[in-house]
């Protein structure tokens, strides 16, 4: 049981079970993986999807928790990383009661873990959790993080276009894959700044909306091959893989989607080919900065300044990647792991959000 936990260098894993009186054959099961609290309390979303087994749920929680530690560390936040997964029970269940129970689970950790929205959870679920614990960073009083993610990604794109490729926005062409919460707002930022934008989404209504804003639309299977200066993946993970590297027709890749590269080798190959990539978990950290900042009671100015600093971190990283001839994704993981190891957080101060939260 300890092997995967050791493998992911995870500090702690908490398992919770509840047997509902009205359906004892469908127990509620949740795992909270606390990857690291060396820089601060472990923040990360709560995933609520079906899993084949408890082992699968644990693996997912461990992998995602490590990613959250790296994301917070690279963005310069005094936060650790964690992740919760709730295995979706079979059959009928009382959703509100389930998230009430989960709220109590989070509360039992006394702030060591701060939860947030993730795949399968909604803001109403977070509001239910928030009735039972204050350690929640994405309830409705905090608001939607997507505009902040989109802003951070836009700033990173502007930086790469201007500082790395030497292009003014008005002379640039960008392809956006995915027009969801982040992709649509990013498209708006790009168009507002005179960038030529080509987009795709599997949802035709969203394509039409982007077209009415001034973007051109191509079929989803054509977006990666577009001849553009920069590609912005904002839909799914694993979109760049060994099988489609030859089809890419861009000089840089900067987008919101998590885990855009199928694996680290893909990043090494892009580095060899001279295609600039921005680590996804750095450039999409605007939403995390916003949510954790609101949780801690930061002012809007402080949140905005911290999001602005993402671009400085990106600049440092791209320079080091060039100087040391190391693929930027590999370097990002290294630097994030060093920053996590160097953390000096004192767990006794887990209560940092208390005063601020009630004034939100």
Which amino acids are annotated catalytic? 83
Judged by beta carbon, residue 232 or residue 331, the one nearer ligand NAD is 232
Residue nearest to ligand NAD (CB): 180
Q: Which residue has the tokens 């059959």?
A: 91
The answer to whether 306 contacts ligand NAD (rule: CB under 6 A) is no
Q: How far is the CB of 66 from ligand NAD (least distance, A)?
A: 16
Which range, of 88-96, 168-176, 202-210, 319-327, touches ligand NAD by CB under 6 A?
Answer: 202-210
* Residue 268 touching ligand NAD (CB under 6 A): no
Rounded least distance, CB 145 to ligand NAD, Å:
4
CA distances from 307 to 40, 151, 267, 312 (A): 19, 8, 24, 10
Nearest distance from C-beta of residue 351 to ligand NAD, angstroms: 26
**Quick one: which of 42, 65, 253, 256 contacts ligand NAD (CB under 6 A)?**
256
Q: Scanning residues 203 to 222, which ones bind ligand NAD (CB under 6 A)?
A: 203, 206, 220
Binding segment for ligand NAD (CB under 6 A), chosen from 33-41, 176-184, 240-248, 271-279, is 176-184
Per CB under 6 A, 284 contacts ligand NAD: yes
Least distance in angstroms from the C-beta of 300 to ligand NAD: 17
Q: Rule CB under 6 A: is residue 235 a binding residue for ligand NAD?
A: yes
Among 17, 168, 236, 341, binds ligand NAD (CB under 6 A): 236
Question: Would you say 254 and 278 are in contact if contact means Cβ atoms under 8 Å apart?
Answer: yes
Q: Which is nearer to ligand NAD, 236 or 242 (CB)?
A: 236
List the 230-233 sheet strands across, edge first.
216-217, 196-200, 173-177, 230-233, 252-253, 276-277
Closest CA relative to residue 130, chosen from 142, 147, 120: 142
Number of residues that bind ligand NAD (CB under 6 A): 24
- Per CB under 6 A, the list member of 43, 64, 65, 182 interacting with ligand NAD is 182
Minimum CB separation of residue 178 from ligand NAD in Å reads 3
Q: Does 74 bind ligand NAD (CB under 6 A)?
A: no
The span of 30-38, 195-203, 246-254, 264-272 binding ligand NAD (CB under 6 A) equals 195-203
**292 forms bridges with which residues in the sheet?**
none
226 lies in the site for ligand NAD, by CB under 6 A: no
- List binders of ligand NAD among 137-156 (CB under 6 A): 145-146, 149
- The 3-state secondary structure of the chain reads CCHHHHHCCCCEEEEEEECCCCCCCCCEEEEEEEEECCCCCEEEEEEEECCCCHHHHHHHHHHHHHHHHHHHHHCCCCCEEEEEEEECCCCCCCHHHHHHHHHHHHHHCCCCEEEEECCCCCHHHHHHHHCCCCCECCCCCCCCCHHHHHHHHHHHHHHHHHHHCCCCHHHCEEEEECCCHHHHHHHHHHHHCCCEEEEECCCHHHHHHHHHHCCEECCHHHHHHCCCCEEEECCCCCCECHHHHHHCCCCEECCCCCCCECCHHHHHHHHHHCCEECCHHHHCCHHHHHHHHHHCCCCHHHHHHHHHHHHHHHHHHHHHHHHHCCCHHHHHHHHHHHHHHCCCCCHHHHHHHHHHHHCC
Which lies closer to ligand NAD via its Cβ, residue 95 or residue 181?
A: 181
Stretch that binds ligand NAD, among 36-44, 197-205, 297-305, 346-354 (CB under 6 A): 197-205
Q: Is 200 in the site for ligand NAD (CB under 6 A)?
A: yes
Q: Which residues pair with 196 in a beta bridge?
A: 173
Examine residue 96 and tell whether it contacts ligand NAD (CB under 6 A): no
Query: Would you count residue 181 as binding ligand NAD (CB under 6 A)?
Result: yes
Instruction: Note whether 178 binds ligand NAD by CB under 6 A.
Output: yes
Q: Which residues bind ligand NAD (CB under 6 A)?
A: 145-146, 149, 177-183, 200-203, 206, 220, 234-236, 256-258, 284, 287
């Amino acid at each position: 049981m300890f092997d995967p936990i050791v493998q992911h260098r995870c500090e702690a894993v908490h398992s919770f079970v509840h047997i509902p009186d009205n359906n004892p054959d469908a127990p509620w099961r949740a795992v909270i993986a606390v990857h690291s609290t060396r820089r601060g309390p472990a923040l990360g979303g709560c995933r609520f999807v079906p899993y084949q087994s408890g082992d699968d749920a644990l693996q997912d929680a461990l992998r995602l928790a490590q990613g959250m530690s790296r994301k917070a560390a690279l963005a310069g936040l005094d936060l650790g990383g964690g992740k919760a997964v709730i295995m979706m029970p079979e059959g009928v269940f009382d959703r509100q009661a389930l998230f009430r129970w989960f709220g109590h689970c989070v509360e039992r950790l006394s702030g060591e873990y701060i939860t947030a929205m993730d795949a399968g959870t909604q803001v109403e679920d977070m509001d239910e959790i928030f009735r039972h614990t204050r350690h929640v960073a994405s309830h409705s009083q905090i608001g939607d993080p997507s505009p902040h993610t989109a802003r951070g990604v836009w700033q990173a794109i502007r930086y790469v276009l201007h500082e790395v490729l030497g292009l003014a926005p008005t002379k640039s062409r960008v392809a956006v894959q995915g027009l969801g919460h982040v992709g649509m707002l990013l498209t708006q930022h790009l168009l507002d700044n005179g960038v030529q934008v080509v987009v795709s989404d599997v949802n035709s209504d969203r394509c039409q909306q982007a077209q009415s804003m001034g973007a051109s639309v191509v079929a989803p299977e054509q977006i990666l091959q577009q001849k553009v200066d920069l590609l912005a993946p904002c839909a799914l993970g694993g979109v760049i893989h060994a099988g489609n590297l030859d089809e890419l027709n861009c000089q840089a890749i900067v987008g919101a989607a998590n885990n855009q590269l199928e694996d680290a080798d893909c990043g090494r190959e892009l580095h060899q080919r001279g295609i600039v990539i921005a680590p996804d978990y750095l450039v999409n950290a605007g939403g995390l900065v916003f949510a954790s900042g609101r949780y801690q009671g930061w002012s809007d100015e402080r949140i905005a300044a911290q999001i602005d600093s993402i671009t400085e971190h990106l600049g440092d990283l791209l320079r080091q990647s060039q100087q040391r001839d190391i693929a930027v994704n590999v370097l990002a993981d290294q630097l994030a792991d060093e920053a996590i190891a160097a953390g000096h957080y004192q767990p006794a101060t887990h209560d940092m959000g208390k005063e601020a939260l009630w004034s939100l």
